[in-house]
Amino acid sequence: MTASKSSTNQTAVGQSQPQYLFALTSLTTLFFMWGFITCLNDILIPHLKAVFSLSYAQAMLIQFCFFGAYFLVSVPAGVLVKRLGYQKGIVVGLLTAALGCALFYPAAAYATYGLFLGALFVLASGITVLQVAANPYVTALGPVETASSRLTLTQAFNSLGTTLAPSFGALLILSVAVGASAEAEAEAVKLPYLLLCGMLIVLAVVFSLIKLPHVNEHEQQDDAAVIEGKSALSHRHLVLGAIGIFVYVGGEVAIGSFLVNFLGQAHVAGLEEADAAHYIAFYWGGAMVGRFIGAAVMQKVAAGKVLGFNALMAALLVVVAMMSEGAVAMWAILAVGLFNSIMFPTIFSLALKNLGPATAQGSGILCLAIVGGAIVPLLQGVVADVAGLTISFVLPVLCYAYILFYGLKGSSVAADNVAENVVAR
């Protein structure tokens, strides 16, 4: 009886592995697409800034609308995915993102900045639904012990998307706009976003037709368990970690958003927008390379120390870029991407450490903190308008200074929290 049952289980496992492999392969396309689309904002910002003669603060409304969607849509998206399931949630996310891309056509036709911002919000809402559905689905496709490695693999494809997007944008958006009228410049976004719309629709059809393995929804911690224990907000390292996620996403997005304009300054590189856009790939490509290096280093060195070191190096590089000229300034700011690489997952994991029954609640709080990508770039835009573009980079320096504190000090778990969770086990 036991042998027969064991044989059955082995057969089931053997049959499920190819199915899981196919599902994971399919999901990597989603991670690639939303990385690609998110990074394309770094091309859209200088383009629309020139088209509509915007101030830096007005141009940063692009990131404000895009990352603001994470804050507003994450909770409703979670409810939607819980009701529909992972696969249908992915399809809804893809179709919503496709609608957002399609809305770029009328926005360009009417050459209205407000319509562009509306299209971006719809697009970002779709990507938010995708993230809410795909991230937990990846962790559920296989053993719990290897969940982190699966997420790391799929996140690598996300970084690949952010690395390739600048060249795509430079080719189809910025280069087309050279010497053209304002109307023609606005219409330069039609083709690339219609192409993205078509690709997203194709993916939606594919994900609606393919047979993905059914997995049980992640078990949610009972509300009573959270009430009996502590609220996530009562954990100091979680609250400080949420601030860390806020400033990290804000700093990373702010630097990427201003890169084209920074490299275009005469004392830095004096590059045309289309030429400067190609160099953004080094910023995001560095993050992809650094992710693998960091994963290996943290096998030997405490995550908090690695986080602190990376934050210190990132801050120093930004300061060097601000105080230097020419190639030194250019490569210093681009090298920041290498040290950004491990920050998000490391802050995330340190903040959730020893939360016990409040882990699910803590994870939701950290996801909401991604709204930093909407706030910090806007603030830097205001500083750039008032004090100058180079001076405005002091804001990312302050962000990295906080992350340095969190890595070395703020991420430590209070002794009473550890004791409570040991007893709970």
Calculate the dihedral angle through the C-alpha atoms of 400, 401, 404, 409, rounding to the nearest 10 degrees. Answer: -140
Within 10 A of 425 (CB to CB), how many other CB atoms are there? 5
- Packing angle between helix 303-323 and helix 394-405, nearest 10 degrees? 160
Integer Cα distance of 165 and 44 in angstroms? 11
DSSP conformation class of 413? P
Residue among 151, 102, 82 nearest 74 (CA): 82
> Is residue 18 exposed (0-12), middle (13-18) or buried (19+ Cβ within 10 Å)?
exposed
What is the sign, positive or negative, of the torsion defined by CA atoms of 213, 214, 218, 219?
Answer: negative
The residues near 205 (Cβ < 8 Å, ≥ 6 apart) are none
Kindly state the tokens that stand for 256.
Answer: 């990427």
Structure tokens at 86: 């992972």
- pLDDT tens, per residue, the chain with 425 residues: 444 434 433 333 333 455 577 777 888 888 899 889 999 999 999 989 988 999 999 999 999 999 999 899 988 888 888 888 888 999 999 999 999 999 999 999 888 999 999 999 999 999 989 888 886 677 667 665 555 556 666 777 888 898 899 888 888 887 654 455 666 677 788 889 999 999 999 999 999 988 877 765 444 444 444 444 567 788 899 999 999 999 999 999 999 999 999 999 999 999 988 888 889 889 989 988 888 888 788 878 888 999 999 999 999 999 999 999 999 999 999 999 999 988 988 888 888 888 877 776 787 788 889 999 999 999 999 999 999 999 999 999 999 999 999 999 998 886 555 545 544 44
Which pLDDT does position 144 carry in this prediction? Answer: 55
* In contact, 418 and 90? CB cutoff 8 Å: no
Quote the pLDDT of residue 417.
56
| Residue-level pLDDT at 329 | 97
Global pTM? 0.82
Q: Could you give the angle at the alpha carbon of 158 between the alpha carbons of 306 and 359, nearest 5°?
A: 60
Give me the amino acid identity at 335.
A
